[in-house]
Amino acid sequence: MRIVILDDYQNVALDMANWSMIRETATVEVLTEHIDDADDLVDRLQHAQIVVAMRERTRLSASVIDRLPELELIVTTGMSNAAIDIEHAKNRGVIVCGTGGYVSPTSELTVGLILGVARSLVWESQAVASGGWQTQVGIELRGKTLGLVGLGRIGSEVAQVALALGMNVVAWSQNLDADVAASRGVRAVSKEELFTTSDVVSIHLVLSERSRSIVSRPEFELMKTDAILVNTSRGPIVDTDALVKALESERIGGAGLDVFDDEPLDASHPLRRLACEHPRVVLTPHIGYVTDGLYRQFYEEIVEDIVAWLDNRVVRVLS
């Protein structure tokens, strides 16, 4: 039996769990590079009965699945993965399983990006490393307003840290309950008020057709000229072209981004240039969930799923 682990960028998958039982009966191959081309992907996955996917790094479309006749099981980290055509897999008789997880690593990174942009941390670090010293004047967060676009699990955790820092926190989403927001110390506002009054806007929505490009040119035009946008959710929630123009024209003050329309981010993407030129543009490579503890849970439960499948027991099947 052949098992292929996709997108193990740090080459740590086999160290994060005990694969010994599986490796007695199967070969386990780790792919550390991202494979974007569908033909190349199919080539690398030929004769694999099991494919392990990390989040939404690689698209397993209907056409890719159809070209893998020996595929029987896909295991993904988390209990959802928009990059897998789950319905088509089921129709083909391919089981798709997932794992548990938790959100605190992404909440923590969100706060880190807010602080990193407000204090130009990357810029100042590079200045010191190259022999320089103070180059920027930072922005204080105490007394400022954080606007959360979405108040789910991650947004709620970010709100608690912001409140501890002395920020005022407001939130908006299409179905936000004002009483629920108030119970978390957050004031529910209209979308227009959030973008008009917030010093920091942080995105915490699930990507859907309803949320795609929900932050675009009209929202940037409402924002304060020194306001910061942070996105650790999904890239397409923000209109990237509009964001680039807003940063280039100094319509907004900065951005901290962990997610992008296409990942890995193209080497020539204008956001990379802006990160080199703008002291308040900080980019991270979708590392919100990339922590030792969460990776260990992911891979340990991946092993559990594979062992259960081998024993004709299936757990954590995605619907």
- Residue numbers annotated as active site: 234, 263, 286
Residue type, 40: D
Closest CA to 57 of 36, 80, 30: 36
How many other CB atoms sit within 10 Å of the CB of residue 219? Answer: 24
Question: For residue 144, which phi and psi values (nearest 5 degrees)?
Answer: -85, 170
Closest CA to 114 of 280, 271, 275, 263: 280
- What the block records as the tokens of 133 is 């010293």
b/e for 27-43, b at 16 or more Cβ within 10 A? ebeebeeebeeeeebbe
E-assigned strand segments in 89-183: 95-97, 145-149, 168-172
Is the bond leading into 264 cis (omega within 30 degrees of zero)? yes
State the angle between helix axes of 270-277 and 240-248 in degrees (0 to 180), rounded to the nearest 10.
Answer: 30
